[in-house]
Chain A
Amino acid sequence: MKKIEIKDYYDLETQSMLRVLYVGDQLFDWNIEGTEIEKAKRFCKSEESRRAIHANIQTHFLHCFSSFMGREVTLEELNIAIEKGVIND
């Protein structure tokens, strides 16, 4: 079991504060660029397409987080872990 926390982090690239995940003392370095969100926004003509974009981002996030953890992690597990403050290795 490892500690999982949300901490504030100053992103030098975007020069903005972000709330990010730390597992143990390791930063999970992930983000979605504002320009990509703007591009995706232009594609959204309907609620269907907005949900599809969100699902796509969710898939990408979980894929990266699972790689970071070295095993598959579901969104449900992650939410519970964040609530409890610990996650299985």
Chain B
Amino acid sequence: MIKLIEADQRFYIKQSTIPNAGLGLYAKHPVPKGSFIEIIGVLVERGSPADHCTAYANNYKFGSTQEGWVIVPMGYAGMINHTDDKLIQNVEIRHVKAKVPMKKRRELRDIISYTGEAVYFFLRDVPKDQEILGNYGHEWDNQVKWMKEHEKKYKKTEDEWVKFLKLGLYNMPVLSEKIPIELL
């Protein structure tokens, strides 16, 4: 068993400003441009039993610099939400080997650890209490577009669909139970 502690003291978690995104990450103190927050977690090999057993986190896994491996995030970086708006995006993912001077490491040793696998790099100064927002990239953008298109379609046919679901055909009762929908 591994004990993992997110020791970065610069952030806190609160309801996100992004609609329907759940919780988000915020700056506890001003964070200067050029800083970074390491994406801490565990590496699992794509397609391995560990990858399958962490399927619950598939929407949150990050690519790694190591070919064929992904990061299952377990710290604050995993709480950073996505935005398409470049004006409010304040971090971006970079796969870098974090090169930190020894003096800085000693100063921050109880706050931040550096392994240099992947980080969120701060693109601008972030004031205290501002939400940290990144961009998950092309795949996520596509997923969001897909969702919006389908949700639009759902709204047009909701009454008939609900009527159809009530017939209890095929595995629809399981669908209604596992993925319940609120009537519009």
Q: Which positions in A face B, CB cutoff 8 Å?
A: 6, 18-21, 30-34, 37-59, 75-76, 78-79, 82
| Chain B binding surface, main DSSP class | helix
Tell me how many residues of B have a C-beta within 8 Å of chain A.
34
Q: How far is the CA of A48 from the CA of B18 in the complex (A)?
A: 13
Q: Given A45-B20, A46-B20, does the pair A55, B154 have CB atoms closer than 8 Å?
A: yes
Closest to B56 in A: A42
Q: In the bound complex, do residue A41 and residue B179 qualify as a contact, i.e. CB atoms below 8 Å apart?
A: yes
When the two chains form their complex, are residues B161 and A43 in contact, meaning their CB atoms are under 8 A apart? no
Q: Give the residue of A20, A40, A54 whose beta carbon is less than 8 angstroms from that of B169.
A: A20
CB distance A18 to B171 under 8 Å? yes
User: Can you sample 30 A-B contacts with CB below 8 Å?
Assistant: A18-B169, A19-B168, A19-B169, A20-B170, A31-B171, A34-B171, A37-B175, A37-B178, A42-B55, A42-B56, A42-B59, A44-B179, A45-B20, A45-B21, A46-B21, A47-B20, A47-B181, A48-B147, A48-B148, A50-B180, A50-B181, A53-B150, A54-B154, A54-B175, A57-B175, A58-B161, A75-B157, A76-B160, A79-B160, A79-B164
Could you list 13 further interchain pairs (A-B, Cβ under 8 angstroms) beyond the known A18-B170, A59-B150, A75-B157?
Answer: A18-B169, A32-B172, A33-B171, A42-B55, A45-B20, A45-B59, A48-B148, A50-B180, A56-B150, A57-B175, A58-B153, A75-B160, A79-B164
B residues less than 8 Å from A45 (CB atoms)? 20-22, 59
Residues on A with beta carbons closer than 8 Å to the beta carbon of B4? none
B146 and A52: CB pair below 8 A?
yes
Q: Which of B56-73 contact A (CB under 8 A)?
A: 56, 58-59
Interface Cβ pair total, 8 Å cutoff: 100
In chain B, what residue has the closest Cβ to A76?
Answer: B160
Residues of B within 8 A of A75 (CB): 157, 160-161, 164
Q: What CA separation (Å) do A59 and B151 show in the bound complex?
A: 12
Q: Which residue of B lies closest to A44 (CB)?
A: B179
Alpha-carbon distance A46/B160, docked complex (angstroms): 22
**For B163, what are the chain A residues with a Cβ–Cβ distance below 8 Å?**
79
